[in-house]
Amino acid sequence: MKKILLLLALMTSFSFAAQTPPAQAKAPEIKAELKAEDVPAVLNQIALEVTMGLPKRLDYITTVDRVTSKKNNIKYYYILNDDEDFVLSKFDKTRKNEFRNQIIKGAKSFLCQNANTLELMKKGAIFHYIYDLRDGKRYFSFFLEAKDCK
């Protein structure tokens, strides 16, 4: 169990943001060892590991604020900052949806193609992503689970 926690926490801590997955992060596959009842402890360990380095600015508009877990749910909270060339708060509905869909596509690609996160989802983990503007207004949120990887 400790090996599972450590490997998943290390691998997942590299991937704060769905849009910025680790380029070469490789962790051994641990499919046979992971049990559904281990998922809450694994997610809690991931949240603890990731939270130690937060808040963390990922790019010119995105900051990871915090990560929490409860039961089979892990939540990544992001703060979005306007930039002079990329003013999110002024996006119309179409542009906002394009931006949201791009984020979802990146998260889905990362979670579904990574053996460890995919296995967590197959065992019941749900990954939530919450994006708020700097002023605290909810911009969008979504979640991904195993059925989204088909």
- Supply the pLDDT for residue 11: 43
CA distance 46 to 48: 5
- Supply the pLDDT for residue 122: 95
Contact 116, 8 (CB under 8 A): yes
Q: Does domain 2-142 have CATH number 3.30.300.250?
A: yes
pLDDT at 4 over 70: no
pTM: 0.82
Q: How confident is residue 150, by pLDDT bands cut at 50, 70 and 90? A: confident
Both ends of the chain: CA-CA distance in Å?
28
Please report, for residues 29, 89, 122, 127, 143, the alpha-carbon distance to residue 79 in angstroms, rounded to integers and kept in the order given.
32, 12, 29, 17, 17
More confident residue, 65 or 11: 65
User: What does the block give as tokens for 2?
Assistant: 């400790």
Q: What is the pLDDT of residues 45-68, one digit of tens each?
A: 999 999 998 999 999 999 999 999
Q: Within 13 Å and on the Cβ side, how many CA atoms surround 17?
A: 19
Q: How confident is residue 30, by pLDDT bands cut at 50, 70 and 90? A: low
pLDDT at 29 over 50: yes
Q: Tokens 């979005």 — which residue? A: 80
Contact 132, 80 (CB under 8 A): yes
